[in-house]
Amino acid sequence: MNTNTATVPRHLGLILDGNRRWAKEHGLPIYEGHKAGYRNMEAILDAAMDRGVECVSVYAFSTENWSRSADEVKQLMRLFLWIFKHELGNLKRHGVRVQVIGNKVRLGKALLKAIHTAEVETKGNTRGTLLFCLDYGGQQEIVEAMKQLVASGVDASELTVERITEQMQSEGVPPADLIIRTSGEQRLSNFMLWQAAYSEFMFTPTKWPDFSVAELNSMLDTYAQRHRRFGK
Distance in angstroms (rounded) separating the CA atoms of residues 226 and 184: 22
Q: Are 2 and 213 in contact (CB under 8 A)?
A: no
Q: Is 65 a catalytic residue?
A: yes
Instruction: For the beta carbon of residue 181, count every other beta carbon within 10 angstroms.
Output: 23
Q: Is 217 a catalytic residue?
A: no
Catalytic residue among 17, 19, 40, 177, which?
17
Distance in angstroms (rounded) separating the CA atoms of residues 137 and 2: 34
Distance in angstroms (rounded) separating the CA atoms of residues 232 and 225: 18
Catalytic residue among 46, 50, 65, 217, which?
65
**Hey, what's the torsion of the CAs at 136, 139, 142, 144, to 10 degrees?**
-60
Q: Which amino acid is at 117?
A: T
Distance in angstroms (rounded) separating the CA atoms of residues 27 and 88: 30
Report, as residue numbers or ranges, the catalytic residues: 17, 65
